[in-house]
Structure 1
Amino acid sequence: MIVVLIGYMASGKSVIGKVLAENLNYGFIDLDDFIEEKEQKTISDIFKLNGEIRFRKLESHYLQALLSTEDNLVLSLGGGTPCYGDNMKMLLDSDQVKTVYLRASVNTLVNRLKNEKSKRPLIAHIVSEDDLIEFVAKHLFERRQFYEQAEVGITTDNKSVGAISNEISEFLNQ
Structure 2
Amino acid sequence: MKIALIGMMGSGKTKIGQLLAAHYGIDFLDLDHIIEQRVGLSISEIFAQKGETEFRKIEESTLAEVVGLGKPLVLACGGGVVLMPSNRELLESECITVWLDVPLRELARRLAGEKDSRPLLASSNWQETLKEIYDARHMLYKETASIRYVWKENCSIDTSIQRIAQLIDSKKAEFQRTS
The TM-score normalised by the length of structure 2 is: 0.90
CA distance in 2, matches of 1:56, 1:157: 31
**Structure 2: 5+ residue runs without aligned partners?**
171-179
Q: What is the letter of the counterpart of residue 32 of structure 1?
A: D
Runs of 4+ deviating beyond 4 Å = none
As a proportion of its length, which structure holds more helix? 2
**Structure 1: 5+ residue runs without aligned partners?**
none
CA distance in 2, matches of 1:10, 1:104: 8
- The alignment covers a number of residue pairs equal to 168
What corresponds to 1:146 in structure 2?
140
3-state SS of 1:46 partner:
helix
Q: Deviations over 1:99-121 (max 9, x none)?
A: 00000011100001110012100
- Tell me how far 1:134 sits from its aligned partner: 2.4
What corresponds to 1:109 in structure 2?
107
| 1:30-109 → structure 2 map (5 Å cutoff) | 30-94=30-94, 97-109=95-107
Q: Deviations over 1:37-79 (max 9, x none)?
A: 1111111111111111000000000000001111110000010
3-state SS of 1:69 partner:
coil
Comparing 79-88 with 14-23, greater Cα deviation is found at 79-88
Check conservation: 1:110, 1:132, Cα contact below 8 A.
Answer: no
What corresponds to 1:10 in structure 2?
10
CA distance in 2, matches of 1:141, 1:89: 21
The TM-score normalised by the length of structure 1 is: 0.92
Percentage of pairs with the same residue: 33
3-state SS of 2:119 partner:
coil
CA distance in 1, matches of 2:44, 2:132: 22
Check conservation: 1:106, 1:133, Cα contact below 8 A.
Answer: no
Check conservation: 1:105, 1:157, Cα contact below 8 A.
Answer: no
What corresponds to 1:161 in structure 2?
157
Q: What is the letter of the counterpart of residue 76 of structure 2?
A: S
Please provide the CA RMSD for this pair.
1.1
CA distance in 1, matches of 2:51, 2:137: 20
Q: What is the letter of the counterpart of residue 103 of structure 1?
A: D
